[in-house]
Chains A and B, each alone.
Chain A
Amino acid sequence: MSEFVSASRLERVMKAGHLGVTSECGPPRGSDPEEVRKKGMLIKDYVDAINVTDNQTAMTRMSSLAACIHLKLLGIEPVLQMVTRDRNRVALQSDILGAASFDIPNMLCLSGDHQSFGDCAKGQNVHDLDSMQLVQTVRHMRDEGKFLGGDDIKRPPKIFVGAAANPFADPFEIRVPRLAKKIACGAEFIQTQCIYNIDKFKEWMKRAVDRGLHEKAFIMAGMTPMKSVGMAKYMKKKVPGMDVPDGIIERLAGVEKGKQAQEGIDICVEHIQQLKEITGVAGFHIMAIEWEEKVPEIIKRSGLYPRPEL
Chain B
Amino acid sequence: MIIAEKKPIQEIIEEVQNFDRILILGCNECVTVCEAGGKKEVEVLASALRMYFITQGKEKVISEHTLERQCDHEYLEEIRKNIDNYDAIVSLACGVGVQFAAEKYLTMPLLPGVNTICLGANEDRGLWTERCQACGSCVLARTGGICPVSRCAKRVLNGPCGGSTNGKCELGPDTDCAWQLIVDRLKALDKMDDYEKIAPIKDWSTDRAGGPRTVTREDVKI
Task: Using CB atoms and an 8 Å cutoff, list the residues of chain A in contact with chain B.
Answer: 84-85, 89, 111-114, 116, 125, 127-133, 136-137, 148, 164-166, 169-171, 173-174, 177-178, 180-181, 184-185, 193, 240-241
Contact = CB atoms under 8 A, between A and B. Distances in A.
- Size band of the B side of the interface? 20 to 34
Nearest to B187: A173
Interface of B: 153-167, 170-171, 177, 179-180, 183-184, 187, 192, 195-196, 198-201, 204
**Which of A89, A116, A125, A241 has most chain B Cβ within 10 Å?**
A241
B204 to A, nearest CB: 6
A174 B163 contact: no
B65 to A, nearest CB: 36
Contacts of A164: 162
Contacts, number: 95
Q: What secondary structure prevails in chain B residues at the interface with A?
A: loop
A193 B162 contact: yes
Contacts of A174: 160, 183, 195
Contacts of B158: 130-133, 181, 185
B162 A184 contact: no
**Which of B154, B165, B179, B180 has most chain A Cβ within 10 Å?**
B154
Contact of A114 (B157, B171, B184, B199): B171
Given A130-B156, A171-B183, A241 B198 contact: no
* CB-based closest 4 A-B pairs: A240-B163, A240-B170, A166-B162, A132-B158
6 contacts: A132-B158, A137-B201, A169-B165, A170-B164, A171-B167, A184-B196
B143 to A, nearest CB: 13
A165 B157 CA distance: 16
Contacts of B187: 173
A145 B193 CA distance: 32
A163 B141 CA distance: 27
Nearest to A148: B201
B167 A241 contact: no
A131 B161 contact: yes
Contacts of B171: 114, 116
B151 to A, nearest CB: 13
A19 B170 CA distance: 32
**Which of B155, B195, B201 has most chain A Cβ within 10 Å?**
B201
Contact of B162 (A125, A180, A241): A241
